[in-house]
Amino acid sequence: MKKIALLGSTGSIGQSTLSICEAYPDRFLPVAFAAGSNVELAFDQCLRWHPQIVSMATEQHAEALSHRLEVAALYDTDVVYGTAGTVQVATLPDADFVVSAIVGVAGLEATYAAVLAGKTVGLANKECLVAAGDLILAAARERGVALLPIDSEHNAVHQCLRGGAANEVKQIWLTASGGPFRNTPLADFANITPAQALKHPTWVMGQRITIDSATMLNKGLEIIEACRLFDLPPAQVRVTVHPQSTIHSLVEYIDGSILAQISVTDMRLPILYALSWPERMASELTFDMSALSQLDFQQPDFERFPCLRLAYEAASTSQAHCIALNAADEVAVDAFLAGKLSFVGIPRTIEHVLALTIGGSPASIPEVLEADHAARELAAEIVAKQ
Ligand code: NAD
Ligand code: MG
């Protein structure tokens, strides 16, 4: 029985992870949760799973959850909060496997702590690799900790890499759906509303990643995520737009062979792969072969999606630029969703923050968080001026 600490239990990946635990009750048991502010859902999850510990985003949310648990006479769950709480969840001695699915840099410290504690980590949170991938990978190598990608493209690459040696890889191809605005005339981009941007054509996900898919910054973050996870330079991480999201990514080997991973468009599959690795477990997530009748591929359009160019530039410039890229986007996406910034203001804000970023490579997690904080302040000032 694998005992799981689930960071981001109330989110889209968190709920999919619990549905896998539900489907394989003899194999996976969630024993600890970190959630944000959704007290009702966190309470329902406690009722169902009786975790040893739950962390909420703030003291106020923790108090609200404690109260609900007391009224229901559930006394076996400790309730904690804040970043320290997420770290307690990630390092719970009884947990063997940590699923990292808090959104944003808010998930960084807990993910790093899980690696330091020697837990096997299933990584959905890409922001922690963008901001501190070198530190996380170094700590994982030192301790022999497996980092298993849950992000579908990286999960696909992880699977395809079983087909050859690292020095036989020529390059990898990340597929991108192209988001809802793949064919929208550029002239209409300034008027895109949050409601339009929240309609992803192929995946149902949390709000931030859905907006990031619409600007294609998500693919940009994934380029950096791939560079860190698979130890490749940005030039060997390519992007191809594949609107059907049927092929989840490809690995091209030096002999000219290309291996692709194909499966249903359902995050439960990469979650199951990570949880059961190095085994494969039988599932009902069957792929319908008729979906192979149409597979389209296009070059990404860097003019329509400047975030892709900005991500390649950040990846080739410095670690500080990667941190700033993500931090500026977190601020800009929040402002866009709050109606305070236009859709085209998102790349504009990121570009401005990157131009003002001094390079460098933070040597510790507190230094990463300091750089992240500085970039957020800069982004907030720039947003306020638009
Ligand atoms: P989501 O918004 O649905 O869920 C985010 C989770 O994080 C929630 O449980 C929320 O309560 C928690 N959270 C937010 N702020 C927190 C804080 N300060 N402290 C503690 N918990 C906090 O997001 P999601 O779509 O599930 O994505 C989660 C992560 O997985 C993101 O990094 C995303 O890029 C990545 N990812 C998601 C998908 C997907 O299909 N949803 C696919 C690939 C990668
Ligand atoms: Mg992805």
The domains of the chain are located at 2-149, 150-300, 318-386
**Ligand 1 atom with least separation from CA of 104:** 32
Give the CATH number of domain 2-149: 3.40.50.720
Sign of the CA dihedral running 342, 351, 149, 39: negative
Q: What is the pLDDT of residue 343?
A: 98
Q: What is the pLDDT of residue 342?
A: 98
155 vs 121: CA distance, rounded Å: 13
Q: Tens digits of per-residue pLDDT, 361-370?
A: 999 999 999 9
Q: What is the pLDDT of residue 294?
A: 96
Q: Encoding tokens for residue 352? A: 């401005």
Ligand 1 pocket member 267 (CB < 6 A):
yes
Q: How big is the chain by its Cα radius of gyration, in Å?
A: 20
Ligand 2 centre from 68 Cα, in Å?
35
> For the stretch 81-104, what's the b/e string if a residue is b when 16 or more beta carbons lie within 10 angstroms of its beta carbon?
bebebbbbbbbbeebebbbbbbbb
Give the CATH number of domain 318-386: 1.10.1740.10
Q: What is the pLDDT of residue 211?
A: 97
* Alpha-carbon distances, residue 208 vs 42, 152, 217 (angstroms): 20, 16, 10
149 vs 155: CA distance, rounded Å: 5
Q: What is the pLDDT of residue 17?
A: 98
Judge whether 135 and 364 are in contact, CB under 8 Å: yes
- CB atoms near residue 73 (< 10 Å): 6
Q: Which residues surround ligand 2, an ion (CB under 5 A)?
A: 151-153
Residue 242: helix, strand or coil by DSSP? coil
Ligand 1 pocket member 211 (CB < 6 A):
no
Residues of the chain with pLDDT under 70: none
Judge whether 34 and 9 are in contact, CB under 8 Å: yes
Q: Before 300, cis peptide (omega within 30)? A: no
Q: What is the pLDDT of residue 202?
A: 87
Ligand 1 centre from 101 Cα, in Å?
5
Q: What is the pLDDT of residue 357?
A: 98
Q: What is the pLDDT of residue 203?
A: 84
70 vs 63: CA distance, rounded Å: 10
